[in-house]
């Protein structure tokens, strides 16, 4: 087995950023600085881009690894299997009443791209098979200074990883 989290994160990022329908639903991409404002961020979204000095625009997605203690490794018929969970959060903001319309569109598209999908990812130690399924969802709402509301929905996706995920 390889260091699976890096390969899974790369696969998630490539899958999400490579989908035109999802890209159209996210904030307009500003590539004045290379790699800036892709609409999908691993681990955290930057407060400001150091090169452009601009904050990321909403809506955007942040993918983080869940620390659930689920990181189990089992040996089944001499094949190592690992289960890892990732939280995919869809962030937006507005003033006044919150409408989840844009977030719902993004959540539906991400679910279509990830839930129930099997894939094979090439690694330096050989191919890694994975199977992804959504295991739970939720909503977060944070009021900011000045009345702006920062809100999001999230899906937690479990990846069964192994030679025969």
Fold of 4-162: STM4215-like (3.30.2000)
Mean of all residue pLDDT scores within the chain: 82
Q: Provide the pLDDT for residue 142.
A: 83
Within 10 Å of residue 28's Cβ, how many Cβ atoms?
9
- Above 50 in pLDDT, residue 78? no
pLDDT digits (tens, 9 = 90+) for 88-146: 999 998 877 778 888 999 999 999 999 999 999 988 878 889 999 999 999 998 877 77
| 163 or 66, higher pLDDT | 66
Burial string for 66-101 (b: 16+ CB within 10 Å, else e) reads beeeeeeeeeeeeeebbbbbbbbbbbbeeeeebebe
What is the percentage of the chain residues whose pLDDT exceeds 70?
81
Is residue 30 within 8 A of residue 54, CB to CB? The reply is: yes
How do the domains of the chain map onto residue ranges? 4-162
| 78 or 106, higher pLDDT | 106
């Amino acid at each position: 087995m390889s260091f699976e989290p890096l390969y899974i994160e790369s696969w998630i990022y490539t899958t999400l950023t490579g989908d035109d329908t999802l890209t159209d639903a996210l904030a307009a991409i500003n590539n004045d600085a290379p790699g800036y404002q892709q609409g999908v961020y691993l681990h955290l979204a930057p407060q400001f881009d150091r090169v452009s000095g601009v904050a990321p625009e909403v809506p955007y997605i942040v993918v983080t690894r869940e620390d659930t203690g689920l990181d189990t490794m089992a040996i089944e018929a001499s094949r190592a299997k690992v289960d890892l969970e990732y939280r995919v959060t869809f962030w937006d903001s507005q003033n006044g009443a919150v409408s989840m319309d844009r977030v719902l569109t993004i959540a539906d598209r991400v679910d279509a791209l990830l839930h129930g999908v099997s894939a094979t990812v090439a690694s330096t130690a050989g191919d890694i098979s994975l199977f992804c399924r959504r295991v739970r969802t939720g909503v977060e709402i944070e009021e900011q200074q000045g009345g702006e509301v920062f809100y999001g929905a999230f899906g937690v996706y479990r990846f069964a990883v192994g030679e025969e995920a």
